Amino acid sequence: MSPLERAILRTLTWFDISSYPLTAFECWQYLYTESEKIDNYSISQVINTLEKLTKEGMIKNENGFWQLASSPSHFFNRQQQARWALPKRKRAQKGARLLSYLPFVRFVGLANTMAFDAPRQANSDIDFFIVLGSNRLFIGRLFVTLIVHLFGWRRYGERVHNRLCLSFYITENNLNLEQFSKKDDPYLRFWVASLVPLFDRGIYDRLIKANAWVTKDLPNWQKIYSSYINKNKKSLPSIIQRILELLFGGAWGNWCEKVFYKFQMKHILPYVADHLNNGTTDVVISEKVVKMHTNDRRVELAAAFRKRLLG
């Protein structure tokens, strides 16, 4: 079997775990080499290999979507997920636009299943990945939480349906996400590569550069979502940001950051204390990171992936 054939089967196996078939372009875009030395294959070469593997009975194509031949059809599942994603995508874009007014918000990205337009359920939430200004993580986070909550869009408790999940913040001087990687962690690589920028003030290009390690396993990762980004940098959000950032700048801002840190930690710790003490990267809280993935399934997914590859 050629390196390209192995990579395609590896890619389809990963997405088969989530019952998610891929288009030919997506097979090329998310070609998972796992650091195996591989040529710079074109999309046409990937398509030809997909057709070859289909003739050999290893994969199948249904209405332009490819998946493992041994699995039941996932085509209608993907169509259903796409329908569920439509209102969520609209809410996500409105939410990102709202956050663009706030101080220290540098980037808002759509993450996890919604980055693929593949929510697991109709009533699931919408995951945001947010980059804030250096040394202003807890000031920025407070503004984001308050505004999203006032609009009735914040996920908390049993309120989940189409709510914004604000569980992952980093600062703009801490963009390398490899620090959160586990020993065997395909999920994080696909997570980084699938981020959809909804609002960007010059962070996305830096994010790609800081996470170049992803291309060792996903060599075709590239910036393709620019159409979603709010490019109007002279808009009202920018003016409001500047005023509030001046207000919370300097020594006064440093003092506020410490106060807001203590205030937020008082409310966060009761929910995440057990996870902070277990030595994983599921929950991380520092002056540069607030990551609260208390239901992190990366180990489980990696184990399922390895089992299917061996099977």
Q: What is the pLDDT of residues 137-192, one digit of tens each?
A: 999 999 999 999 999 999 988 899 999 999 999 999 999 999 999 999 999 999 99
Q: What is the CATH number of the domain that holds 21?
A: 1.10.10.10
- Assess whether 146 and 287 both reside in one domain: yes
Residue 242 has pLDDT above 90, yes or no: no
Rounded to whole angstroms, the Cα distance separating 68 from 32 reads 15
The confidence score (pLDDT) of residue 235 equals: 47
The confidence score (pLDDT) of residue 79 equals: 96
- Assess whether 61 and 88 both reside in one domain: no
The answer to whether position 61 is within a domain reads yes
The answer to whether position 302 is within a domain reads no
Residue 232 has pLDDT above 90, yes or no: no
The confidence score (pLDDT) of residue 238 equals: 72
- Structurally, the chain folds into a number of domains equal to 2
Measure Cα distances from 273 to 169, 202, 285, 292, 300 in Å: 18, 34, 11, 11, 22
Q: Which helix (H) or strand (E) holds 109?
A: strand 105-110
pTM here is 0.92
The answer to whether position 309 is within a domain reads no
Average pLDDT, the chain: 91
Q: Which of 16, 38, 73 is the last residue of a domain?
A: 73
The answer to whether position 188 is within a domain reads yes
Question: pLDDT (tens digit, 9 = 90+) per residue, 259-299?
Answer: 999 999 998 888 887 777 677 888 999 999 999 988 889 99
Q: Of residues 126 and 310, which shows the higher confidence score?
A: 126
Mean pLDDT along residues 211-239: 70
- Assess whether 89 and 190 both reside in one domain: yes
Q: Which of 40, 73, 106 is the last residue of a domain?
A: 73
- Assess whether 108 and 212 both reside in one domain: yes
Mean pLDDT along residues 74-89: 96
- Assess whether 59 and 148 both reside in one domain: no
Q: Angle 3-16/43-55 helices, nearest 10 degrees? A: 80
Residue 236 has pLDDT above 60, yes or no: no
Q: Strands 105-110 and 126-132: what pairing?
A: antiparallel
Rounded to whole angstroms, the Cα distance separating 218 from 35 reads 8
- Assess whether 45 and 107 both reside in one domain: no
- Assess whether 167 and 264 both reside in one domain: yes
The answer to whether position 116 is within a domain reads yes
The confidence score (pLDDT) of residue 280 equals: 80
Amino acid in position 310: L
Contact 5, 55 (CB under 8 A): no
Contact 305, 13 (CB under 8 A): yes
- Assess whether 111 and 228 both reside in one domain: yes
Contact 97, 236 (CB under 8 A): no
Rounded to whole angstroms, the Cα distance separating 175 from 233 reads 22
The answer to whether position 308 is within a domain reads no
The answer to whether position 303 is within a domain reads no
- Assess whether 104 and 57 both reside in one domain: no
Question: How does DSSP classify residue 184?
Answer: S
- Assess whether 149 and 261 both reside in one domain: yes
List, in order, residues 6 or more apart from 259 with CB less than 8 Å away. none
Domain of 7? Answer: 3-73
The answer to whether position 262 is within a domain reads yes
- Assess whether 15 and 55 both reside in one domain: yes
Mean pLDDT along residues 208-235: 72
Q: Which of 73, 107, 123 is the last residue of a domain?
A: 73
- Assess whether 127 and 273 both reside in one domain: yes
Contact 17, 308 (CB under 8 A): yes
Measure Cα distances from 3 to 36, 37, 195, 211, 265 in Å: 8, 8, 27, 24, 48
The confidence score (pLDDT) of residue 277 equals: 66
